Amino acid sequence: MKLSRLYPILDAGFLEARALDLRLAAEQMRIAGVSLIQYRDKTGSSQTILRNAAVIREAFAGADCKLILNDRADLAVLAAWDGVHIGQGDLAPEDARRVVGAGRWVGVSTHTDEQVRLAELRSTDYVAVGPVFATGTKADAEPVIGLDGVRRARALTRKPIVAIGGITRENARGVIEAGADSVALISALFAEDEPAGKVARDFLDLLG
């Protein structure tokens, strides 16, 4: 399994707080050439999540892009998306796998070395590690792991690693060099004076 170097996350709460349009954001990601994207909505109803998933799927119609839904394995199947990303408090990876089936991806968030070790043994396709740097996107963020945490994770798993948390154009290359296969971004995509698509393109060019 090979991950795209760039893994944008369209977070419903983040977009709403900044009056950003979901469809426009998705279209900008497609134009930039994004080939892996996640939609995250921690508070929306099932109907809202499915409706927004359809908007994103329509924006990426005809593009070679993996669509990953956060938390909801059942809705990932109903939306005909390509996989689910789960956290430590969500479904167990094996349960998520039973829901989505063998043909879809299951990714898992980890925040400690022990969680990475367990993810290596479980039914997951990739392992997210972080927060690498301080981040303001999540109010309940776990302690920062730093680049050393990425290096330790690389030594603990053979699965692809997605690094998340406080990653910018200035430090993203160092995160890849520390052992990550991909970097996940939320707030860094939406600079005040630059279109999100241009920022995504910058990251894709930078990461190679």
Express as a percent the part of the chain with pLDDT over 90.
92
Q: Take residue 178 and report the two structure tokens written for it.
A: 């520390």
Local confidence band at 101 (pLDDT 50, 70, 90 cut-offs): very high
Place of tokens 């699965």: 159
What is the Cα–Cα distance from 160 to 33, expressed in whole angstroms? 21
Question: Of the ranges 1-5, 30-34, 103-107, which one carries the lowest mean pLDDT score?
Answer: 1-5
Answer whether 197's CB lies under 8 Å from 31's CB.
yes
Query: Which amino acid, one-letter code, is at 201?
Result: R
What is the per-residue pLDDT across 7-34, written as a single tens digit (0 to 9) for each?
999 999 999 999 999 999 999 999 999 9
Q: Take residue 143 and report the two structure tokens written for it.
A: 């302690």
The catalytic residue among 57, 117, 122, 138 is 138
DSSP3 helix / strand / coil % (the chain, rounded to 5):
40, 20, 40
**Would you call 152 a catalytic residue per the annotation?**
no
What is the Cα–Cα distance from 30 to 26, expressed in whole angstroms? 6
| 161-164 and 126-129 beta bridge pairing | parallel
The residues spanned by each domain of the chain are 6-207
The catalytic residue among 40, 66, 97, 152 is 40
Answer whether 97's CB lies under 8 Å from 106's CB.
yes
What is the per-residue pLDDT across 147-186, written as a single tens digit (0 to 9) for each?
999 999 999 999 999 999 999 999 999 999 999 999 999 9
**Would you call 159 a catalytic residue per the annotation?**
no
The catalytic residue among 109, 152, 154, 182 is 109
What is the Cα–Cα distance from 178 to 112, expressed in whole angstroms? 16
**Would you call 40 a catalytic residue per the annotation?**
yes
pLDDT at 139 exceeding the cut of 90: no
Of the options 3.20.10.10, 3.40.50.300, 3.20.20.70, 3.30.470.20, the CATH number for the domain spanning 6-207: 3.20.20.70
The predicted model gives 142-148 an average pLDDT of 95
What is the Cα–Cα distance from 9 to 36, expressed in whole angstroms? 9
